[in-house]
């Protein structure tokens, strides 16, 4: 057993693996599938969140690489590899795009090689670190990215794991402060919403049985992450409603893209 394998707890369900299960991946364990099925029974549409979030990532990255000229991406909380990872989408548009992935999950680290295959013109790197380890992240990212040039900061479904509101806002702000004007924030976050009361029950189940625990916020609280930025249309909305190719039902995962 490798050091990484010894750090993977297969006795408790884990968010990244359940997300992987819901999107049709194979990097999960029976405990994750059982929890995923129980959560889906409480909120039948929750499996669509993962798919909607992944589609949002693709649309946002294509826009930034194609329309905004962004060539550098810092993806924190990347999760398990799946189809159309950030570097694949970006380098399909611009082969010289550079991407740094950051995650603190050992199973994700075990699959890092799948992330490290990019174009010969671009560059892809991987860093094991927690979102709170800002100095570590920035120092390591600077080995691959030129922080004097615009960077897209990707925070999809990761600030939900910072329970304290002010700490979570401060983390996002400090990261953005390190980047040049023209940089962008791409963020998605599970929300609590009066129109979707069964989401709260599903989250409560998760926080009782799974790891790591997550924090819901209102759409208004999610919008606050973009304070001081120029929000791109259509603003902070259900991620399925952010510039979709075809209309899709709203999900309780809100997202937005903002320009520094």
Confidence check: pLDDT of 232 > 90: yes
pLDDT tens for residues 25-62? 778 888 889 888 887 887 777 777 778 888 999 999 99
pLDDT at 184: 98
Listed as own residue / partner, the contacts of 113-116 with beta carbons closer than 8 Å and 24 or more positions apart are 114/81, 115/78, 115/81, 115/85, 115/87
Q: Mean pLDDT score of the chain, rounded to an integer?
A: 88
Compute the average pLDDT of residues 147-151.
98
Tell me, what's the pLDDT at 112?
66
The answer for residues whose C-beta is within 8 angstroms of residue 200's C-beta and 6 or more apart is: 192, 216
Segment 1-31, tens digit of pLDDT: 455 556 677 778 877 788 788 777 778 888 8
For residue 71, give the nearest of 226, 180, 158 by alpha carbon: 180
pLDDT digits (tens, 9 = 90+) for 180-202: 999 999 999 999 877 777 788 87
CA 217, 153, 17, 164 dihedral sign is negative
* Mean pLDDT on 203-225: 88
Q: Please state, for a pLDDT cut of 90, what percent of the chain lies above it.
A: 54
The whole-angstrom separation of Cα 70 and Cα 148 is: 13
Q: What is the tens place of the pLDDT at every residue in 94-109?
A: 999 999 999 887 777 7
pLDDT at 168 over 60: yes
Determine the length of the chain: 260
Structure confidence at residue 1 (pLDDT):
46
Whether residue 192 contacts residue 218, with contact meaning beta carbons closer than 8 Å, is answered with: yes
Distance of alpha carbon 72 from alpha carbon 87, whole angstroms: 10
pLDDT, tens digit (0-9, with 9 covering 90-100), for 110-133: 776 666 677 778 889 989 899 999
């Amino acid at each position: 057993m490798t050091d990484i394998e010894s750090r993977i707890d297969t006795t408790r369900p884990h968010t990244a693996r359940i997300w992987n299960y819901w999107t049709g991946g194979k990097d999960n364990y029976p405990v994750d599938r059982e929890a995923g099925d129980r959560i889906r029974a409480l909120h039948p549409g929750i499996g669509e969140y993962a798919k909607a979030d992944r589609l949002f990532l693709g649309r946002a990255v294509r826009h930034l690489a194609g329309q905004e000229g962004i060539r550098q991406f810092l993806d924190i909380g990347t999760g398990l590899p799946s189809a159309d990872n950030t570097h694949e989408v970006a380098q399909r548009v611009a082969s010289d795009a550079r991407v740094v992935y950051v995650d603190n999950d050992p199973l994700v680290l075990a699959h890092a090689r799948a992330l490290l295959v990019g174009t010969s013109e671009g560059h892809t790197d991987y860093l094991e670190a927690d979102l709170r380890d800002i100095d570590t992240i920035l120092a390591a990212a600077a080995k691959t990215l030129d922080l004097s040039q615009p960077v897209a900061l990707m925070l999809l479904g990761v600030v939900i794991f910072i329970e304290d509101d002010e700490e979570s806002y401060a983390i996002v702000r400090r990261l953005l402060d390190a980047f040049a004007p023209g940089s962008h924030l791409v963020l998605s976050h599970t929300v609590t919403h009066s129109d979707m009361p069964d989401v709260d029950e599903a989250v409560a189940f998760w926080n009782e049985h799974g790891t790591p625990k997550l924090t819901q916020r209102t759409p208004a609280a999610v919008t606050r992450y973009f304070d001081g930025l120029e929000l791109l249309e259509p603003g902070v909305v259900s991620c399925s409603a952010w510039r979709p190719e075809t209309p899709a039902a709203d999900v309780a995962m809100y997202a937005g893209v903002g320009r520094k």
